[in-house]
Amino acid sequence: MKIKKASFSISIDLELAWGVWDIINPTLLKNATNLEREIVNNLLNIFEDYLTPVTWATVAALLDSNNKMVNFGDKKAWYAPDIIENILNSKIKHLIASHSYSHINFKENNKNVICEDFEKAEYYFKIHNIKTDVLIFPRNQIEHLDLLNKFNYKFYRGLDKSWYKEISKYNKFLGKVANISDKILPIATNSIKPTMHQSGLVEIPTSMLLISRNGFKIPVTNNNMLFKVKKGIEAAIKKNECFHLWFHPSNFYFKSKKQFELLKDILKFVNSKREKGLIDIKLLNELSFVN
Ligand SMILES: [Zn+2]
């Protein structure tokens, strides 16, 4: 008989300037060039200290030195094989997932363009001996699902199912206000469970984004964020579900020290539950969808 146990997962969207290529400006370029590497190194050290494997949703163009964008500002903002090497060389066995080749808009492009992008991603990952069956859609635009089988993707990240996301469906601005309110108020966060669709694809929704701490998000506190995450993890344990946290390294650009402290406190809490045998830490392609 299959023993069911709660799980905890982290997915990180590793994209540097590719995440914002269509709205690129000197500040974004400078941040990607100067901040990203140190943040990823700190994350890798924390994951080693807390024995935590995570899923890195990687833009494959970071492995392509010939893409024309490398001439736009500093090459280091677009080309980062060194970062991927560090992830692969970590003592912890992390998973590289695909975040597409070039972070294109999946809503606005047709199947031919998307196919070409998937082919390029496959090519650059293969050169680096990376084989992955997990796709994390750029901008979380879940489109062209019928192409996933062809490119051997079996798992994809779904959306956050929280109350504030429902609001964004009707009004983007109110959705943003609701998202920040959710992080300021002590409201518990959902645990999630993966769903297997008829196509055979497994969708893994997210529980919470570890949001940035700049601008109007300043009222968000570590205490409140930690409270929310703890409640979500406790819910996962109670229901034999998963707590799935996601973020970008750029979510650590502001108030970095506080954000790293928060991440450590979260992992400390997860480990206290793991030591009691109540929860496992899983990569996205290890999550069980059997209920
Ligand atoms: Zn992205």
Residue 104 lies in a domain: yes
For residue 185, what pLDDT is reported?
66
Q: Report how far residue 124's alpha carbon sits from residue 121's, in angstroms, rounded to the nearest whole number.
A: 5
Domain residue limits at 76: 6-286
Output the domain CATH number for residue 104. 3.20.20.370
147-159 residue pLDDT tens: 999 999 999 999 8
Residue 291 lies in a domain: no
pTM: predicted TM-score of the whole model, two decimal places: 0.92
Residue 230 lies in a domain: yes
Residue 175 lies in a domain: yes
For residue 10, what pLDDT is reported?
98
Residue 1 lies in a domain: no
Residue 241 lies in a domain: yes
Residue 270 lies in a domain: yes
* 199 CA to centre of ligand 1 in angstroms: 25
For residue 165, what pLDDT is reported?
67
Question: What residues of the chain score a pLDDT lower than 50?
Answer: 1-2, 291
* 270 CA to centre of ligand 1 in angstroms: 26
The total domain count for the chain is: 1
* 108 CA to centre of ligand 1 in angstroms: 16
220-250 residue pLDDT tens: 788 889 999 999 999 999 999 999 999 999 9
Phi-psi region of 268 (alpha: psi -120 to 50; beta: other; left: phi over 0): alpha
Nearest Cα residue to 242 out of 190, 203, 201, 290: 190
Residue 44 lies in a domain: yes
* 180 CA to centre of ligand 1 in angstroms: 20
* 193 CA to centre of ligand 1 in angstroms: 22
* 285 CA to centre of ligand 1 in angstroms: 19
For residue 286, what pLDDT is reported?
95
CA neighbours closer than 13 Å in the CB half-sphere of residue 30:
3
